[in-house]
Structure 1
Amino acid sequence: MNTTRVRSADRVMDILLLLAEHPSGLATAVIAEPLDIPKSTLHHLLNTMADRGFVGYSPELRVWTIGPAAFSVGVTYVRTSDLPRAAAPFLRSLCEAHGATAHLAVLSGMEAVYVAKFETSGPGPRLVTEVGARLPAHLTAVGRVLLAALKDREISDLYPAGGLDRRTGAGPVDRIELADLLAEVRRSGYADELGATTPGIRCIAAPVRIGHVTVAALGLTFVDGVRSPEELTSLTEDLRRISDELSVAVTPKGGGHDPTHRETDSGARTDGRAVRSETADRLDAGKFEPTHHPANSAVTG
């Protein structure tokens, strides 16, 4: 057996596990000390991992962070554990408690992909979005939750300078307005969208996390103007509570970070990062049967 090769692989795993515990990043020297890796060797390993997308480096902060390839590997369990089906009882609970359409979405590039939905059997909006449909992420509450988990440079890559598509005259006009919206989502811990996809329809959404990774967004959609401020507050608090409960339910035991932990006084959870979900990949490949609990067909935000 080539023990040198095994040691290198072992060190790569140790680096990934250490960085996973420190989402804000670590300097080279801080990585080297607890892992007992010579700095020259560590530099070679980190540069190779960066080339493959498993780590990233911030020249401004001079720290290494987990890269998108590592996050993609980290959420592959979605392919077998079936996040949409796991979410079904939580969607039902929200729908029945508030008489609104509940839905689950994942991020695919610049789009929010709807992978599960539960609708009330009573009167309510009949929305245009079916399970498997896609909407521009910047126009939807679920999409904004997912985008808010990305780093600024990742947002810049997705949205070059220039105007953004708008459907109804509502929503951000450019990347600067989008950045302001996402900053508010990070601060508050949820997104609130009104009329950007369908006039008169409002959606509130909150993140679903596995460890530090935002893998989906849970949303509630309803007609605007029919609920009191107190009812909206109750709905938002319930949505955030249930999104946290779903996060706990889908996080493997020993998965580390407690998704219910809010790290700022405002309740914002600022350490999450979104990835292109394996659920979205499965939809593209035709290998996934989304979860739709009608009662009716629907718009979502």
Structure 2
Amino acid sequence: MPARPHRTVDRVIEILETVSLSPRGVTLAELTTALDAAKSSVQELTNGLLARGYLLEEERRFHLGPGPFVLAARANKLAALSLDHQFVAELGEVLGCTVLVAVRVGDAIVFTDLAGEESPSLTFVARTHARRPLYTTAAGKTVLANVTDEEMYRLLDLAAPEQAGEVRQFLAELPEIRSRRLAFNRGVTLTDAFAVATPLLAPDGNLIAAISAAVDVSAAEDLDDLGEKLKKAVASLGPRHGLKLR
């Protein structure tokens, strides 16, 4: 049976992600607004998460409990495949631009690390670990191009009707993304950021992460050359940091 969204599961995840992004905690009213759901429904879910240790409540504000951290410590594939920040930093130094690491989380891309030139918008995206669409970001396109066609079309089918144009654009770019192992985002997601991404593939062909190099509009014309330099730098520096790449 193909994976598909489930309303209750989606709401539970949205609660946990909303709480995780707020250092001061989140009230029930704020969660209700964020989820656009009835207060009684949200309260039932938070009560269950409190009971199982996935949330804590202090002064009527919800915070993450120990549950998520226990799961991560037990068997987190991302932790097992975590990239040394020094590897990312060296890529930034070699390329002279911002470098980001992104992984797929469900039907979205999440940026997990950043190094290089500071960019307020890119720094915000990386530090908040916000979910971004797979079919618009360079990293997301890289992920989509490196899953099976069946899985790719399943993920694309989840796009909202108003995103049909972005999906069509990705499909038009797909052959080149696969042949060059490069995907581009030319100021579409963030108007001040132009990015190119390449995949980190394990020896068995499975995707570890997408590595993006980003520049501002002044260097946008050099994006194709930057992409080729990115591939070479990843291939050169990866093994030095214990990465066994395809």
- Which TM class, normalised by the smaller chain length? 0.5 to 0.7
Number of residue-to-residue matches in the alignment: 168
Match of 2:103 in 1: 106
Match of 1:193 in 2: 185
Aligned counterpart for 1:182 among listed residues 158, 166, 174: 174
Shift of 1:112: 0.6
Distance 2:242 2:161 in 1: 34
Q: Please give the per-residue CA displacement for 1:197-235, whole angstroms capped at 9, x wherever unaligned.
A: 1114201110001111112000011112x2385x54542
Query: 2:93 aligns to what SS in structure 1?
Result: helix
Match of 1:83 in 2: 82
Q: In the alignment, is the contact (CA less than 8 A) between 2:135 and 2:167 conserved in 1? A: no
| Aligned-partner residue type, residue 243 of structure 1 | V
Match of 1:117 in 2: 114
Q: Please give the per-residue CA displacement for 1:175-212, whole angstroms capped at 9, x wherever unaligned.
A: 44322222221021111111221114201110001111
Query: 1:83 aligns to what SS in structure 2?
Result: coil
Query: 1:196 aligns to what SS in structure 2?
Result: coil
Aligned counterpart for 1:219 among listed residues 212, 216, 222: 212
Match of 1:238 in 2: 229
| Aligned-partner residue type, residue 178 of structure 2 | R
Distance 1:151 1:251 in 2: 23
Match of 2:15 in 1: none
Match of 1:141 in 2: 138
Specify the structure having the higher radius of gyration (Cα).
1
Distance 1:162 1:106 in 2: 19
Distance 2:102 2:158 in 1: 26
| Aligned-partner residue type, residue 103 of structure 2 | V
Q: What is the CA RMSD across the aligned residues, in angstroms?
A: 2.8
Q: In the alignment, is the contact (CA less than 8 A) between 1:206 and 1:240 conserved in 2? A: yes
Distance 1:79 1:174 in 2: 28
Cα separation, partners in 2 of 1:111 and 1:250, compared to 1, 3 Å? farther
Cα separation, partners in 2 of 1:79 and 1:175, compared to 1, 3 Å? closer
Q: Which has the higher contact order (CA 8 A, sep 6+)?
A: 1
Match of 2:59 in 1: none
| Correspondence 1:41-120 to 2 at 5 A | 78-79=77-78, 81-84=80-83, 86=84, 88-120=85-117
Q: In the alignment, is the contact (CA less than 8 A) between 1:112 and 1:134 conserved in 2? A: yes
Distance 1:162 1:82 in 2: 28
Cα separation, partners in 2 of 1:78 and 1:118, compared to 1, 3 Å? same
Q: Give the TM-score normalised by structure 2.
A: 0.58
Cα separation, partners in 2 of 1:239 and 1:133, compared to 1, 3 Å? same
Unaligned runs of 5+ in 1: 1-75, 167-171, 253-257, 260-301
Cα separation, partners in 2 of 1:158 and 1:91, compared to 1, 3 Å? same
Q: In the alignment, is the contact (CA less than 8 A) between 1:189 and 1:206 conserved in 2? A: yes
